[in-house]
Amino acid sequence: MGNALFVVWRESLEAFLVVGILHAWLQANGHGGRGTRALAAGVGAGIALALALGWALVAVQDELAGETLDAFQTGMLLVAAALITQMVLWMRRHGRQLRAQIHGELAAAQARAGLAGVAVVATLAVAREGAETAIFLYGFAQEGGVADLVAGAGAGFVAAAATAFATARGLRRFDSGRLLRYSSFLLLVIASALLVAGADRLIGAGWLPGLVDPLWDSALLLDDGDGAGKLFADFSGYRARPALSVVLVYAAYWSAVAVAWRRAGRD
């Protein structure tokens, strides 16, 4: 539930902020009433596309069985981990220019197709965030209960709306930029946990050798089977009895992220 809450909060917050930037541009350029309606239509279309992707994922799963289903679910875990990582690194590289970039896209779209172009920009922006969220939630669903997932996603959306409202109101001492930077690290931790879960599934299916399994046993210190240990394991990818190959995957991930993070910061 906690991972779903956090990821939905972050993704929804980005969507709220983008929509806010779009609305501010429309108001500043004299496209009040009609522009707002075009923006609302674009947001609605983007949400519809994201829901369609979620439905398609479930529909595909219902048609699969056995090893094919296992491969699909494992693949979605790895895709979710890759998308979260890519999103964080993209925001680190382009976050400071996001407002100017969106304004440029809006101006170009409006010049080409009028307010319909504005609606298309809104659709694509919201659909991207929503599609990523659908894939993330599908990945989380492979590791936990659906009821907790739905509750966490709902709470994350409400929290994102509250955060966006606070940002719009300009509450004193509220630094949304710093909040997004701190949350980026937590998103990378969640991505590494999804990657570990995918590696565990690959080992269980015999598609990845464990090499040394287990490499160590720290269950006496912190058991990942229940209680606080399970919560920590679900969030961070901790394993009390990890295979060597899982440890190598985890180390390779963080090494690659460290290099990409430094490069993104220099761009």
Q: What is the mean pLDDT of residues 170-182?
A: 59
CA dihedral (201, 204, 210, 216) in degrees, to 10, reads 90
Q: Quote the CA–CA distance of 49 and 61 in Å, as a whole number.
A: 19
Residue 258 pLDDT > 80: yes
Tokens of residue 65, six digits: 């069985």
Q: What is the pLDDT of residues 190-235, one digit of tens each?
A: 889 999 999 999 999 899 999 998 999 998 888 988 778 887 888 8
Tokens encoding 245: 């190959």
Rounded Cα distance between 26 and 32, Å, is 6
Calculate mean pLDDT across residues 233-249. 91
Top-confidence residue, 180 or 233: 233
* Residue of 43, 114, 78, 89 whose CA lies nearest to 181: 89
Range of the domain at 79: 2-266
Residue 211 Rama label (left phi>0; alpha psi -120 to 50; beta): left
Residue 1 neighbours by CB under 8 Å, 6+ apart: 144, 148, 149, 151, 152, 155
Distances from the Cα of 57 to the Cαs of 11, 52, 72, 227, 260, in angstroms? 19, 9, 10, 31, 30
Q: Look at residue 179 and tell me whether its pLDDT is greater than 70.
A: no
Q: Percent of the chain, pLDDT > 90?
A: 16
Least confident of 81-90, 99-108, 123-132, 254-263: 99-108
Number of domains in the chain: 1
* Cis peptide bond prior to 214, omega within 30° of 0: yes
pLDDT of residue 233: 86
Question: SS3 for 225?
Answer: coil
Distances (CA, A) of 115 to 17, 25, 35, 102, 130: 20, 12, 6, 15, 22
Tell me the two tokens of residue 1: 């539930």
Q: What is the mean pLDDT of residues 242-249?
A: 95
pLDDT over 70 (residue 267): no
* Sequence-ordered alpha helix ranges (H) in 63-97: 66-94
Q: For residue range 36-74, what is the model confidence (pLDDT) as tens digits?
A: 788 888 888 888 988 898 888 888 888 888 888 888 888
What is the reported pLDDT for 250? 95
- The pLDDT tens digits for 103-159 are 666 666 666 656 677 777 778 778 877 888 888 888 777 766 677 778 888 888 888
